[in-house]
Amino acid sequence: MSIHRLLEIVYILLDKREITAKELAEYFGVSQRTIYRDIDSLSVAGIPIYTVKGKGGGIRLLENYTLSKTLLSEKEQLDILSSLQSLKALNVPDVELVLAKLTAMFDINNTDWIDVDFSQWGSGVVEKEKFNLLKTAILNRNVVAFDYYSSYGEKSYRIIEPIRLLFKGQAWYVNGFCRTKDNLRLFKISRIKNLTITNETFSINEHDDIGNNPQDPTNNLTIKMATLVLKIDPCMAYRVYDEFDQDSILHNKDGSFTVTVTYPENEWLYGYVLSFGEHIEVIEPKYVREIIKKKLEENLRKYL
């Protein structure tokens, strides 16, 4: 008995309302006896399916029937459709067809509620295409090759077996087995250039089981954290409430905000603080305040 075939039969009947056993047998490439066994299984499961003998007869569902009445609660239906809609947004193969079928079975409309774009604002077509290429390679188990630039600007050529995409610390990474280094590695996607999918495929093996490994693959990343106390002008209220947790915001009497946050201490952090322009002041820690001050002085010298 094929669960997929049983669901397909219900979907066909919901769409057509009536079909013969012969037509179903030809559609699935099985015998009519198999179809009748499937009908019996659906009936036992509580699906109101029945056959009408004689001329003009066939297999039918009870009029106005939807799958929701027998198998799944309304919440379970919505949870399933939400999960499938999320996968559709990621362009996972065949999800749209399954989503359409279950939407019809559940008699629920308006499932097109989510869209996901992994690229940054202002990204070009090439940058956006990286995610599609990596997703395709991961799903089809294709080896990929690319030029990779380290944080120091050093270029190297890499060949990897990609396993999954990962978002960590304000950045996207691809996790995979690097044949060049003969080890599992993380690669920051923004530093990947000239990405190509090869025709070579890789099979499941010991390093491909990382998805089932509870150990965080980014634990080998050394990340220094810094807790900052920031004073932000009232005119930046839209950013304060957009970008910081409510519990970290103190609204001062003069209209300004005092915000306490903990971020990875790196160039991203300094650039983020500087993005507020003259409307922000680093109160603590003192050494970060001095770094920001130095960067502002260096920038000023370029305009003198």
- The per-residue pLDDT for range 3-28, each reduced to its tens digit, is 667 777 877 777 766 888 888 888 88
| Residue span of the structural domain in which 133 resides | 125-212
Which strands form 192-201's sheet, in the order they lie side by side? 183-188, 171-178, 155-168, 142-149, 192-201
- Indicate if the pLDDT at residue 107 is higher than 80: no
60 and 76 in a single domain? The answer is: no
pTM of the model: 0.45
- Indicate if the pLDDT at residue 290 is higher than 80: yes
- Does 36 map to a domain? yes
Tell me the average pLDDT of the chain.
78
- Does 220 map to a domain? no
Check residue 294 and give its pLDDT: 93
CATH of the domain at 50: 1.10.10.10
CATH of the domain at 132: 2.30.30
- Which residues are within 8 A (CB) of 21 and not within 5 positions of it... i.e. 6 or more apart? 32, 35, 36, 39, 51, 58, 59
Which strands form 249-251's sheet, in the order they lie side by side? 249-251, 257-264, 225-232, 280-284
Check residue 57 and give its pLDDT: 76
Kindly report which listed range (71-75, 164-168, 251-255) carries the lowest average pLDDT score. 71-75
Total domains, the chain: 4
Overall residue count recorded for the chain in this entry? 304
- Does 93 map to a domain? yes
29 and 80 in a single domain? The answer is: no
- Does 217 map to a domain? no
CATH of the domain at 246: 3.30.70
Which residue among 50, 65, 80 closes a domain? Answer: 65
List C-alpha distances in Å: 192 to 20, 70, 123, 276, 300: 55, 50, 14, 29, 32
Res. 125 pLDDT band, cuts 50 70 90: low
Q: Percentage of the chain with pLDDT > 90?
A: 26
Q: What is the C-alpha radius of gyration for the chain, rounded to an integer number of angstroms?
A: 28
Which residue among 186, 212, 238 closes a domain? Answer: 212
- The per-residue pLDDT for range 220-265, each reduced to its tens digit, is 455 678 999 999 999 999 899 888 888 899 999 999 999 999 988 8
Distance CA 183, CA 205 (A): 13
- Does 218 map to a domain? no
203 and 233 in a single domain? The answer is: no
Tell me what the mean pLDDT of segment 91-107 comes to: 61
